[in-house]
Amino acid sequence: MSLLAVEDLSLSFGGLRVLSEVSLEAAQGQILAIIGPNGAGKTSILNCIGGFYRPQHGRILFEGRDITRLSPDRRAALGLARTFQNIALYRGMTVLDNIKLGAHAHLRTGLLGGLMYWGPAQREEMALRQEVEEEIIDFLEIESIRKLPVAALAYGLQKRVELARALAMRPRVLLMDEPVAGMNAEETEDMARFILDIKEERGLTVVLIEHDMNVIMDISDYVVVVNFGQKIAEGAPDQVQAHPEVIKAYLGQKRAGA
């Protein structure tokens, strides 16, 4: 059974149709890539899965459970984590606090406990710090920047901190919107390695949007192609690469005789 399934998703804003009847499935421990030209509706799919957009039609199933009507914060608590195309870190906080924030849904401290910071609240913060350090900061190799404000970081590092924050959400499914966009070759390689490690060591399911075809070919298990809000092809990476519709969508239709 698939861990995450999107069925017949349709979304429009006013008269503008963004998605029509898109379906896709991601199995446990799979890396699913969504590709397509700019404006094809890729990010809208992630936004629907995360709950930021409400589709007019269609269902989203997580572990067989219908989550289409669930609020974004409840979905996050279930284990849907997200990174963003245009980095969405909290600029007023340090790297460490940004990562800790990811664990929000799994913590129990309430308003009163927080004000007193005594006993359980304090223990919870200590345990969280240890978890974040050992499970995430070590893994992503960002020890040296943990106390810096995120605004001071280079672009590539900010992307890495976003991944760290998503991991702190203890996700089952990681939704990544262009994780290597704007990165140099070395940074791209690091990020691809991290994504593979996440899948292999932690058994996470990853749904990612990417334009970098080398990365797609290297790490993804399955590829879905969308154009004009519709799914036009899907399959293993090498199959998809050779698919005529995909070539057409990416390179434009060849005119007869041209």
Residue 154 is a binding residue for other proteins (CB under 8 A): no
Contact pick of 70, 101, 217, 247 for other proteins (by CB under 8 A): 101
- Specify which residues 230 forms β-bridges with: 227
Residue 193 is a binding residue for other proteins (CB under 8 A): no
Quick check: 206 and 195 in contact, CB under 8 A? yes
CA dist list (Å): 50 to 54, 164, 205, 224, 244: 10, 18, 14, 18, 31
Residue 129 is a binding residue for other proteins (CB under 8 A): yes
How far apart are the C-alpha atoms of 57 and 59, rounded to whole Å?
7
* Helix H or strand E encompassing 247: helix 244-251
**29 vs 72, beta carbon nearer other proteins:** 72
Q: Which parts of 89-226 fold into alpha helices (H)?
A: 95-102, 111-116, 120-131, 138-140, 155-168, 185-202, 213-219
**107 vs 232, beta carbon nearer other proteins:** 107
Tell which positions 164-183 bind other proteins, by CB under 8 A: 165, 169, 177
**168 vs 225, beta carbon nearer other proteins:** 168
Quick check: 98 and 159 in contact, CB under 8 A? no
Residue 92 is a binding residue for other proteins (CB under 8 A): yes
Contact pick of 100, 159, 172, 231 for other proteins (by CB under 8 A): 100
Q: 211-240 mask for other proteins (x: CB under 8 A)?
A: ------------------------------
Contact pick of 2, 85, 212, 232 for other proteins (by CB under 8 A): 85
Contact pick of 50, 55, 58, 179 for other proteins (by CB under 8 A): 50
Residue 152 is a binding residue for other proteins (CB under 8 A): no
Contacts of 213 (CB under 8 A, 6+ apart): 35, 241
Residue 139 is a binding residue for other proteins (CB under 8 A): no
Quick check: 21 and 10 in contact, CB under 8 A? yes
Contact pick of 61, 70, 77, 232 for other proteins (by CB under 8 A): 77
Contact pick of 66, 88, 184, 200 for other proteins (by CB under 8 A): 88
CA dist list (Å): 85 to 82, 104, 108, 163, 240: 10, 22, 30, 12, 24
Contact pick of 56, 66, 117, 236 for other proteins (by CB under 8 A): 117
Query: In 3-state terms, what secondary structure has residue 119?
Result: coil
Q: What does the block give as tokens for 237?
A: 């990476």
Give contact residues for other proteins (rule: CB under 8 A): 13, 43, 47, 50-52, 71-73, 76-77, 82, 84-86, 88, 90-93, 97, 100-105, 107, 109-111, 113-117, 121, 124-126, 129-130, 133, 165, 169, 177
